Structure formats: C-alpha cells, structure tokens
Chains A and B, each alone.
Chain A
Amino acid sequence: MTSLPYLSFSIWIPIFGGLLTLFAHSERNAHVARFMGLFFSLAGFLVTLPLYVQFDASSSTMQFVEHTNWIRYFNAHYSLGVDGISMPFIILNSFITVIVVLACWEVIQKKTAQYVAAFLIMSGLMNGIFSAQDGVLFYVFFEASLIPLYLAIGIWGGPNRVYAAIKFFLYTLAGSLLMLLAFIYLFQQSQGSFDLADWHALKLDMRAQSWIFWAFLASFSVKVPMWPVHTWLPDAHVEAPTGGSVVLAAIALKLGAYGFLRFSLPITPDASQAMAPVIIALSLIAVIYIGFVAVVQTDMKKLVAYSSIAHMGFVTLGFFMFNPLGVEGALVQMISHGFVSAAMFLCIGVLYDRMHSREISDYGGVVNVMPKFAAVFMLFSMANAGLPATSGFVGEFMVVLGAVKYNFWVGFAAATTLILGAAYTLWMYKRVMFGAVINPHVAALTDINRRESLFLGVLAICVLIMGLYPFPITEVMHASVDDLLKHVAAGKL
C-alpha cells in the first residue's frame, strides 16, 4: 500500500511551521504569529486524521511505515510507524496543540511568536516520539522535546520559573541518559541494530533484562512521573504558563507510560513480570498517598498536578497487571486524562488570566458571576473525579476491574481513587465556585468569551463522547494490545 507519508507530515509540518513562525518575532507581528500558529497546528491536526480513517484495526503490525537510511555507520534508520497503541496519541497530541494555540490568543503578550513556535515544535517532536520505530530516532525526539518545554516554562512561567524549568530539565535528562546506555547495550547485543522490532525479538537473559528494565524505569518513571520521582511535576506545573501545563499534563506525561508499553514490556518481558509487584506498589502509593496530598493543596494548579500523578499511577497500575482489561483501561485513561487534565488546566488558566491568582482561598462564589464557566468547569471536575458518563470513568473502571481480576486487594486499594478523586476535585470546586461572592475581585469577574467557550466546549464534547461511547478508541487498540500481551506472556528466556 502506498500512501502519503502522513507520519512525516504530522512531525515536520508543525516543526517547520514553528520555525517559520519564529520569523514573525517582532511585537507588531504578534497577530501574524498567532494566525500562523493556528494555521500550522490545524494543518498538523488535519494530516493526522487519515491515520485514524485509514487505520486497519484488525492488524497489530505497524502501519503507515516509512523507512529510509539515516545514519549508515550506526545502521540507524529514519523509521516511522504506528500501531493501535500509538496512533490515538498522535491525534490527541495534534489536537491538543490546536487548543493550546487557541488558549494563548490574548493571554500571551510577550514574545508571542516564540511561544507559539515552542508549542508547535514540541508537538512535532512528540509525534516523532510516538511514531519512531528506531532507537536512535526515538531517543533524539525524546530528548529534543525537553528543549521547547524548558524554554516555555522558563520564559512565560510564574515567579519561581527558573528553578522549576531547570529542575524539570535535569530530572528528565538524568533518566533519559541512562536509557541511552541501555540502547547502546541493546545495539551491541543485537549485532548492530537500532530497529525496535529487532530489539523486541532479541533474546536476553534475566540479568541483562533486569539492568535494561531499571535503566528504562529510570527514564520513564521520571516522565510519568511515578512516586517517588514525581517532585518535579508540581513545580513545573505551577510555574508553567497555561499552555505549558496543558501540554505537560495532556501529552508529556503520556510519553513515560508509552515508553513502558513500547520498550519495557516487549524488550524485557520477564524482568517486567518479575518487577511487576514493585511497580504495582509504587502505583498504588501514587494513587492513594498522592491523592491525599492533593486534598490538602491550597493552590489549584498544584492540586490538579497532584491529581495528574494519581491518575498516572492508575495507568502504570493497569500496565503491569498484564491483562487486556488493565492495559486497555490504562490506555483509555491516558487519553481521557489528556482531555480532562488539559481542560482542568485551561479552566484554571481562565480564572488566572482574570484574577492572577491560583490560591483557592482567593476565590469563592465564582458561580454567581461566571455561570457558563461554572457549568463547564463542573463537567470537567466530575470527569476528573471519575463520574460515570464522563471519559474519566471508563478508564478507571476498566483498570479497577482488571485489578480485581489480578488481586482483590489491589483492586480494592485502586478503587479508593474514586473516593479520593471526588474528595479533592469536588472540594476544590465547592470552595472556588460556590458560596457568596467573597471579595470585590471575584465580583468583577467576567464570564468566558466566545474563544474560551469554543475550546472548552470542544473539550467538553470530547469528554462526553468518550464517556458515553468509548468503542471507537478501544476498537483500534485491541489487536495491538492483545499482541503485546501475548509477546509479554511468551517471555524471552
């Protein structure tokens, strides 16, 4: 089958678009930059649609494959492809980028072109990560994606942005460098190949597998982030501009989880099974302990950041039970969290743009002055808490079912998230929104405008559709997940 190289388009249209946008850097051209950003992000989103339409859901092989020589000496290829696991994330990523560009429209007033360019370039790099089928190519995208986010947090972030940006960068770099060494080891073991398919088929003994597993874990657990290496995330989120938080929560966190599926599980299946109890324990700590931490936050963004960690704990939990329900549930949870967390941060951004405060105690009675906003925020809060009929419920429910199958008490512990999630989200919602208007600043708030209604409305529709009819998403991932689990069960020893 010959088709257009949609994957390359989805990577390079945003990147070149971003580079072009940089040329509209003078403050007079800020509007040009915004429209260019919108144009390229929309173009980048549109070229990903054929990936879904033309996708063959019955096959677990890589589709839309592109394969060219890249670095001859290392036998590294420019090799792209997607399966049912990675395809939804490319679409999600390109979609979120459009939202991010829309969300920055009036808000970002300094260096607009650079802001738009950073997020466009990042979008392209993320698509590269999800579609790379070559170790070097993956690593290059993986590490390069740190740069735009580092700059975004550092330039447009809050008061403590420098600390947050450097912490974010060094934490994630430390992990990924260890992964690089694991890649070099695999390269040597596989007689000079960086092809992921070769690595999946490569026989490794338990000792080698454990070393590689830990190296991968170092990299991916920081990205996810798992307890106890999560501490960069609240800092980065709090200081990041709204767009940065959205991309971090909706996409960047998924990279770690995706890495587990694409690297840890298939390359080191036996080590993964042996270490599963450790990962499950860490995940449960993330779900329960971080859930409690979220309850006591006084800063809205920090609260949602901690809730993201808890939700991602659910994802890693789902992966390491090795049953289809758990893995698919975790994948659904990842996509749902992409929408919901993006929406939560956008909602907080809406409030922050008006009040320049994220402290819960500065708010109260917002519903009286912003009724439309209160309605959508309510929906997203419910989704964050995992209310049935929203997307948040589907994934959590599937993972809990999978967990009960695996072990009743694990399922029991995981299910506490339904209570904790409701506790921290709805309590925050109550304090911010309900009650009497507590101060003149709140009284002066204006309701959301058309632009804000647009992107929040679109996200609300996504959340509802996914909650009511998740089949189109689970359908595409089914074959790939089955194949992956078979591969893991077969082992390599």
Chain B
Amino acid sequence: MEFQIPNFYPAAPELAVVAISLLTLLLVSFARRRASQIAYYMTHVALLLAAVLTIHVSRDFSATIGKLYVQLPFSEFLRNLGQIGLAYLGSSEMSFTFGQMYLADPLGDLLKVVVCASVAMVLIYGRRYLQDRKLESAEYYLIILFAVLGVMVLISAGSLLSVYIGLELLSLSSYALVAINRDSIRSTEAAMKYFVLGALASGLLLYGMSMVYGATQSLGLVDVARSLVDPQSANRTVLLFGLVFVVAGVAFKLGVVPFHMWIPDVYEGAPTAVTALIASASKLAAFAMVCRLLALGLWDLVEHWKLMLLFTGVASIVLGNLTAIAQSNLKRMLAYSGISHMGFLLLGFASTTSHGSTNAYASSLFYVLTYVLTTLAGFGIILLMSRAGFEAESLDDFKGLNKRSSWWAGLMAVVMFSMAGLPFFVGFFAKFFVLQALWSAGYAALAVLAVVMSLVGAFYYLRVVKIMFFDEPAADFSGIEACFGVRCLLSVNVLAIALLGLFPSFLMQTCVLVVQGSL
C-alpha cells in the first residue's frame, strides 16, 4: 500500500494553533518573570493567525473581495457588503483531507472565525479579573489554546474519530480551566462534577459512535451517511441505539435537559473568565457537533433525531426559564437562561421539513451566533464589575448600578433586553427566526409554548434591569476599574447587539448562504 502525503493546506489554521502553542510552551519555560504576559500575547497571535488563515487559505478571500471591490463603485460596495462576503463564502463547497478525517466548508470557516474572535474577547475581558485573583499564569493561556484547538478540530471533523478527538481535547482543557483556582473549594467541586459527568457523557457518545460504526462499518461521516441511504445495508436497531447515545453526548455538551445538571454548578463555580469561555466557545463547538453528527452523518435518521431534539428543546426551555426565576446569583441565572437558549437553538435546528432544512439550520446558526455575542457581553460586564476580593455575581451586587454608572447599566440593560428577545436588539430576531422556522415546519403548538416561555424569561431579565435601575445602590461602592481598551471593546460588543438588531439582514443572509454551502 502506497502512502500518500495528505494535503495539509485546508488544516492550516489548526496547524498554526498547534505550532504557536508549542512555541509558547517553549518560550514560557525560558522566560521567568513575564511568562504569563508572553503567553497572553502569543495566544492572541495564535487566534488572529488562525482566523486569518481560515479566511485566507480555504478560499482566496483577498482575491474575491478585491475583485468585487474593483468592480463596484464604493456606495454600491457598501450596500452590497452582505452579498459580497457571502458570494464568496457560499461559492465554496466541502473539501476533505487526511482521508475523510478533516473537512473544510463555509460553515466550519464561519464558526472557526467566530470562535477565534470570541475567545480573544474572553481573554481581553478576563485578564484583569485573573490578575486580581493571582490566577493569571502561562498555563491558563496555554490550556485555552488547547481548548481552541479542540474546538477547531471538532468544527472541522469529518469522521466520528476526529469528532471525538476534538471533543476530548476541548473537554479535558475545560475541566482544567474550571479548576484553575485550585485553592477554591467551590471551583474544584465544580470541576469535579464537570469531569465526572463529562467523562460519562464522552463515554455515552463513544458508545453510540461504536454502534454507528458497527452498523455501517465506516467512521467517515460522509460514508456513514452514504451507507444509511440504503435501508438494507445497516442494522436499524443498532443504529437507533447508537443514535440515542450520540444525541445524549451532544445534549450534554450543549447543556440541555435532561443533561443540564452540570451547567449551573460549573457556571457558578468556575472563575467568571472561564465561565465566559464555556458559555461561548464551547456552545459553538457543541453546535458544530450537532451539525456534523446529526445533519451530516446521521441525516437519514432525521425523523428520529428530530423528535429527540424537539423533546429536549422544549424541556430545556420550560425548565431553564422556570428555574432561572428562582436564582439570586447572576451567573447561575445566566446558566439556566443558557439552558433555555440552547433549547431554542434545538427547536430551530429540529424544524426541518421535507422541502428542505436551510431555514431550520440557518435559524439555529443565527441563534447561536447572536447568543454568543450577547452572552459574551453579559459576562464581560460581570467581569468588569468584579474587583479583587469581590465577585459581583450576586444579583444584589448590581443594585442601583444606574446611579453608579449609567453607561454600564445601560449596556447591561441592552444585554438583558436582547436575551429577553425584545426589539430593537438582535435577540428578538434570533427568536423570530426560530419561531418562524418552527411554524413553517408545522409545529405551531411548540411555537406557542416557546412564546409563553419567553414571556416567563422576560420576567427574570426584567428583574435584573429593575435591580440596576430602580433599586438604591449599596453604600460601599468604589468606582469601576478597567483599562480603556476593555471598556471600548465591551461597548462595541454591546453596540453590535443593538446594531444587528436594527440591521439583521446581513447576518441572516450570511447564515443562510453558509448553510446552503455546507449542509
């Protein structure tokens, strides 16, 4: 058998992350005093490089944009900015390398770029928080780099094995990150819970994968899909068993009912900077996993997994929203609200119809992107409010924020209104998109339920606004300390929520075209 050298080109972003993380490891072991600083900047370099490579390598971004730019007069260019970005993203199609282990497509590219951006934001928002608690270390950034690598591998996984490898890399890094404050009992307890449950979920997923492999004799997702088309070729009973376990593993990663138990404890116990990472990058990874495993590999079983997703989605929305009301800890509240948001995402994803599933997938892609944007801003503000020895995570810590700083109170209010799904903020259009997908797939009753539950959700988001605007501030307050850059980035982040709420068209088109090009 002849050994072929695989095409490394599509995997350049991942390779760049690997190379820089190894380089950082080397540098850090020689630099004595400024190790964490070096690691911090190297991580940013790695993320930037990965994002640029993702855009550049896979499809000559510069050439396409440049060509279109020359062709169009400037005003026209601005008006058609949406189309241009997309004409290019949508034009590409799926390409494979390393056998079928690795695939590159527009969806993966988009998710990778967003992951890099969101992790960079998490790093910037969380740096002072970590310094105040003496948690900033080179290892922290290195582990984050490995987690990013895991997410990227997961996103571009073309076979069951690479899905699993990416997932484990991400999970093991996350366990370590949650426990990074090793002297805190709360953190270590959270990490322990996360680890035990996470290991169980990985086991379930692997078990499911082995059944899928047993039934189809293939690991590559495309091969699996191909062998499912012929109903005679695979043993359906085994496949369905496998599917249940796969969905369970995915549901655990997304943190949806009934596999949500770890979410509140981990959100609350982890240092807030790590929570922000788990709430953003890891949701994107889970979404990618849903796309790869269910929409690509097990597409033929759509009628089966659709029901499972609808059930978990509805259960998450109901349980997440109802439980969030009772929380007095903001991080815990955001954890439960995150559960309900992931429920919305699944409802969108499961609204496939016999006419096509672009609408469904695009709605859930739009949902997860905007959710990540919003939740990053939310955790960013929590990080901004906390100081050395003060966590700013209880709802009471936000009392009377409007009197202390109208600007941050206003921005937090935008985040809350967006999460509640009120216009003119992007959260409204995310919900609208999902509701529309649900309705057009014929699930009118579920749409009504989702609407009722978002009313319940509005209550606890409004309560945060109430606490910030209507209550009197606690007496012992000192100013908000953060460097100019963090303030600017955070403000831009929140303004993006409002701007996307005014002009959602561009992002929607992006999602639709990306989905059309990939799934």
Contact = CB atoms under 8 A, between A and B. Distances in A.
A177 B451 CA distance: 6
B62 interface: no
A71 B508 contact: yes
Interface in A185-209: 185, 187-188
A393 interface: no
Contacts of B422: 143-144, 146-147
B455 A180 contact: no
A62 interface: no
B423 A140 contact: yes
Interface in A69-88: 69-74
A162 interface: yes
Contacts of B451: 177-178, 180-181
Contact of A177 (B454, B470, B504): B454
Given A70-B505, A140-B423, A181-B451, A169 B435 contact: no
Contacts of A462: none
Nearest to B436: A184
Contact of B447 (A114, A165, A173, A181): A181
B406 interface: yes
Contacts of A64: none
B146 to A, nearest CB: 37
B423 A173 contact: no
A488 B413 CA distance: 43
Contacts of A178: 451
A141 B424 CA distance: 8
Interface stretch (A34-42, A93-101, A150-158, A363-371): A150-158
B435 A143 contact: no
A166 interface: yes
Main SS at interface, chain A: helix
B505 A170 contact: no
Interface in B240-298: none
A107 interface: no
In which size bucket is the chain B interface? 35 or more
B311 interface: no
Contacts of B452: 177
B324 to A, nearest CB: 15
A27 B372 CA distance: 36
Nearest to B506: A72
Say what secondary structure dominates the interface of chain B. helix
Contacts of B448: 181
A147 to B, nearest CB: 6
A181 B439 CA distance: 8
B440 interface: yes
B509 interface: yes
A230 interface: no
Given A25-B406, A111-B402, A146-B422, A177 B466 contact: no
A147 B427 CA distance: 15
A161 interface: yes
B462 A169 contact: yes
Interface string B380-422: 0000000000000000000000100010001001000100001
A174 interface: yes
Contact of B436 (A72, A74, A150, A155): A74
A162 B435 contact: no
Given A139-B423, A144-B424, A155-B470, A73 B439 contact: no
Nearest to B504: A71
Interface in B417-475: 417, 422-424, 428-429, 432, 435-436, 439-440, 444, 447-448, 451-452, 454-455, 458-459, 462-463, 465-466, 469-470
A144 B423 contact: yes
Nearest to A137: B423
B423 A185 contact: no
Contacts of A25: 406
B319 interface: no
Contact of A165 (B435, B466, B509): B466
A74 B459 CA distance: 29
Contacts of B504: 71
A70 B432 CA distance: 15
A185 B439 contact: yes
B225 interface: no
B512 interface: yes
Contacts of A170: 455, 458-459, 462
A244 to B, nearest CB: 14
B385 to A, nearest CB: 19
A210 B470 CA distance: 41
B297 to A, nearest CB: 28
Contacts of B459: 166, 170
A73 B435 contact: no
B436 A187 contact: yes
A180 B458 contact: no
A25 B405 CA distance: 10
Nearest to A113: B406
Given A111-B402, A143-B428, A188-B440, 20 more contacts: A71-B508, A72-B508, A72-B509, A73-B505, A73-B509, A74-B508, A111-B406, A144-B423, A146-B422, A150-B462, A154-B470, A155-B469, A161-B470, A165-B470, A166-B466, A170-B455, A178-B451, A181-B439, A181-B447, A181-B448
- Nearest 10 A/B pairs, CB to CB: A140-B423, A154-B470, A73-B508, A177-B451, A71-B505, A144-B423, A184-B439, A25-B406, A72-B505, A144-B424
Interface of B: 402, 406, 410, 413, 417, 422-424, 428-429, 432, 435-436, 439-440, 444, 447-448, 451-452, 454-455, 458-459, 462-463, 465-466, 469-470, 503-505, 508-509, 512
29 contacts: A22-B410, A25-B406, A70-B505, A71-B505, A73-B505, A114-B402, A136-B432, A139-B423, A140-B424, A141-B423, A144-B423, A144-B424, A146-B422, A150-B462, A154-B466, A155-B469, A162-B466, A169-B458, A169-B462, A170-B459, A173-B455, A177-B451, A177-B452, A180-B435, A180-B451, A184-B439, A184-B447, A185-B439, A185-B444
